[in-house]
Chains A and B, each alone.
Chain A
Amino acid sequence: DVKVTQSSRYLVKRTGEKVFLECVQDMDHENMFWYRQDPGLGLRLIYFSYDVKMKEKGDIPEGYSVSREKKERFSLILESASTNQTSMYLCASSLRGNSPLHFGNGTRLTVT
């Protein structure tokens, strides 16, 4: 079974801090995604990556950046955390363009 692991389940950070959310997949998947999930808004795509060192903006990239230095790891960075970035963050991966997605368990981030 594919395993997508997010480094933290719960995280509390202060406004202005730099925050790193890590995601690792163990099945050599090409594509990796970061979503945030908010009540009433569903899941929204922040960034995705289709290869090492390649990244594309999703629907809501503002305030975020990403890094993919190795195929198995995709990091989401909040350069200066703000309270409106309090959310559930979900990482996902897929083997290739139209393959099923596999999700991590999510990181619930609270910015105070």
Chain B
Amino acid sequence: KNEVEQSPQNLTAQEGEFITINCSYSVGISALHWLQQHPGGGIVSLFMLSSGKKKHGRLIATINIQEKHSSLHITASHPRDSAVYICAVRSPVIAGGTSYGKLTFGQGTILTVHP
């Protein structure tokens, strides 16, 4: 079983629909990231959160630490939202006397929004 599981793997929506992507994890974390990857490869960080809820424009990310679960919501979806959305959890690791956050990634959710 993967340490980070996303659902669904593929999601198709009509423009304007409300979209939810889920992420469950099984390890202790210091933070959780939601990332967006457009065709061509570049990855952009959308949110980094360790508790509660964050909102940026039409995007909302929530996390429930006790349940080890996070959701990414997109309100009023648009074709330009079509991308792969990746959940990643950050676990503290000590290397060379320095603490750094090791990221473990989910497999990604492919979102397609049709006009």
**Using a CB–CB distance below 8 Å, which chain A residues touch chain B?**
9, 31, 40-45, 48, 50-51, 54, 56, 88, 90, 92, 96-98, 100-106, 108
Q: A42-B86, A90-B43, A105-B42 are in contact. Are A97 and B107 (CB under 8 A)?
A: no
Q: A90-B43, A103-B43 are in contact. Are A42 and B96 (CB under 8 A)?
A: no
Residues from chain B with a CB closer than 8 A to the CB of A97 are 92, 98-101
Question: What bracket does the count of chain B residues touching chain A fall in?
Answer: 20 to 34
Q: Which residue of A lies closest to B100 (CB)?
A: A97
Interface of chain A, main secondary structure: strand
Q: Which residue of B lies closest to A89 (CB)?
A: B41
- Distance to closest chain B CB from A97 (angstroms): 4
Q: A40 contacts which of B4, B31, B102, B107 (Cβ < 8 Å)?
A: B107
Residues from chain A with a CB closer than 8 A to the CB of B102 are 45
CA distance A20 to B86 in the complex (A): 27
Q: Is the CB of B106 within 8 A of A50?
A: no
Residues from chain B with a CB closer than 8 A to the CB of A98 are 30-31, 90, 92, 99-101
Q: A105 contacts which of B41, B100, B106 (Cβ < 8 Å)?
A: B41
Q: Which residue of B lies closest to A54 (CB)?
A: B96
* A-B CB proximity, top 6 nearest: A106-B41, A97-B100, A103-B43, A43-B105, A105-B42, A42-B105
Q: A98-B90, A101-B33 are in contact. Are A51 and B96 (CB under 8 A)?
A: yes
Interface string of B20-48 (1 = CB under 8 A from A): 00000000001101010000111111001
CA distance A92 to B107 in the complex (A): 18
Q: Is the CB of A101 within 8 A of B45?
A: yes
Q: B41 contacts which of A40, A96, A108 (Cβ < 8 Å)?
A: A108
Q: Is the CB of B33 within 8 A of A100?
A: yes
B103 CB within 8 Å of chain A: yes
Q: A42 contacts which of B31, B42, B98, B106 (Cβ < 8 Å)?
A: B106
Q: Is the CB of A100 within 8 A of B48?
A: yes
Q: A90-B41, A97-B101, A106-B41 are in contact. Are A41 and B96 (CB under 8 A)?
A: no
Residues from chain B with a CB closer than 8 A to the CB of A96 are 100
Q: Which residue of B lies closest to A105 (CB)?
A: B42
